[in-house]
Amino acid sequence: MVRTESRVPPTYVDGTRLWVDSRVRAFVQRRGEAAILRRLGGEVPGGTVLELGTGRRGTGLRLALDVFGAARAEGVDRHPGSVAACRAAVRDLGDRVEVRDGDATALDATAGSYDAVFGYHVLHHAEDWRAVVREAARVLRPGGRFYSCEMTARFVDSRLLRAVAFHPDDADRPAPESVAGACRDAGLTVLAQETRLAGCWTGLVATRP
Ligand SMILES: C[S@@+](CC[C@H](N)C(=O)[O-])C[C@H]1O[C@@H](n2cnc3c(N)ncnc32)[C@H](O)[C@@H]1O
């Protein structure tokens, strides 16, 4: 969908980091999002998993071990500063985690490497989010699962959020239907999806047949 200038106002300040790096965000991710994703898709006991777009706090990597029961969690982020901060944040987890520079639209990993791939709010920050979904599908082993949660176009393009947070690409923002559709286009089968907050947030689990 193409949005016009009048519907998508400019960003005046970028407060994204204030929220993404906050303790409140980590609490919401653990108690809300991870709990929903685990209910939708189950655990990954003893598995090797990849998180796309870790951010600086490393909460998703910690959750992969604590909440989903993975044995090893790898993460990539495209910003070297975030990778360095994330490495420091998860140092206590030792060699069960590894954080690398990487572009989720073109991963180094070989096909079929992971039991699960996690993406917490990476799609609406990626320049080509459909390529991120394709890469997630490619690196999953058959039977592996893609866990995704996102703020949708409805919230990201709202006047309030646009005023205080920058996000790329106005024309093809993730929405509940389009995230599910992109999974299917990438060859995944959507197992479950839950959309909340009047369509502003969606969580989904899909599997590679
Ligand atoms: C909103 S933050 C989410 C951070 C964390 N996952 C969370 O939920 O709090 C989005 C993250 O995705 C990363 N990102 C965006 N596009 C990416 C890409 N193509 N490859 C890897 N990381 C990317 C950004 O650098 C940022 O750290």
Parallel/antiparallel/unpaired status of strands 114-120 and 48-52: parallel
Q: Is residue 8 scored above 70 in pLDDT? A: no
Residue 2 has pLDDT above 60, yes or no: no
Distance 51 CA to ligand 1 centre (A): 10
Q: Check pLDDT > 60 for residue 4.
A: no
Beta strands in the chain (DSSP E): 48-52, 72-77, 97-101, 114-120, 140-151, 189-196, 201-207
Residue linked to tokens 């998508």: 8
User: CA distances (Å), 36 to each of 13, 42, 57, 58, in order?
Assistant: 31, 10, 20, 19
Cα–Cα distance, 142 to 116 (Å, whole number): 10
The ligand 1 atom at the shortest distance from the C-alpha of residue 20 is 9
Per-residue model confidence as pLDDT tens digits over 51-66: 999 999 999 999 999 9
Task: Please give the mean pLDDT across all residues of the chain.
Answer: 93
Cβ neighbours, 10 Å, residue 36: 18
What is the pLDDT at residue 63?
Answer: 98
Residues with CB under 6 A from ligand 1: 20, 25, 29, 52-55, 60, 76-79, 82, 102-105, 120-122, 125-126
Reported as a pLDDT band with limits 50, 70 and 90, residue 10 is low
* Superfamily of domain covering 16-207: Vaccinia Virus protein VP39 (3.40.50.150)
Q: Which residues pair with 75 in a beta bridge?
A: 51, 99
Whether the predicted pLDDT of 7 surpasses 80: no
Number of Cβ within 10 Å of residue 110's Cβ equals 8
Indicate the top mutation candidate among 125, 133, 202 to test ligand 1's pocket, ranked by most ligand atoms within 8 A of CB.
Answer: 125
Backbone phi, then psi, for 194, in 5-degree steps? Answer: -130, 125
Q: Is the pLDDT of residue 188 over 70?
A: yes
Tell me how far CA of residue 55 lies from CA of 6, 43, 46, 181, 209, in angstroms: 31, 22, 24, 26, 29
From atom 5 of ligand 1, which residue's Cα is the shortest distance away? 55
pTM metric for this prediction: 0.94
- pLDDT of 179: 98
pLDDT tens-digit series, residues 66-110: 999 999 999 999 999 999 999 999 999 999 999 999 999 999 999
Mean pLDDT of 170-185: 94
Residue ranges per structural domain of the chain = 16-207
State in Å: Cα 52 to ligand 1 middle: 7
Residue 6 has pLDDT above 80, yes or no: no
170 alpha carbon – ligand 1 mean position (Å): 17
Which residues sit opposite 203 in a β-bridge? 149, 194
CA–centroid distance, residue 57 to ligand 1 (Å): 11
pLDDT tens-digit readout, 129-138:
999 999 999 9
Percent of the chain clearing pLDDT 90 (strictly above): 83
CA of 22 to the centre of ligand 1 (A): 15
pLDDT over 80 at 14, yes or no: no
Spatial contact of 104 and 50, defined as CB atoms under 8 Å apart: no
Q: Please, are residues 106 and 138 in contact by the beta-carbon 8 Å criterion? A: no
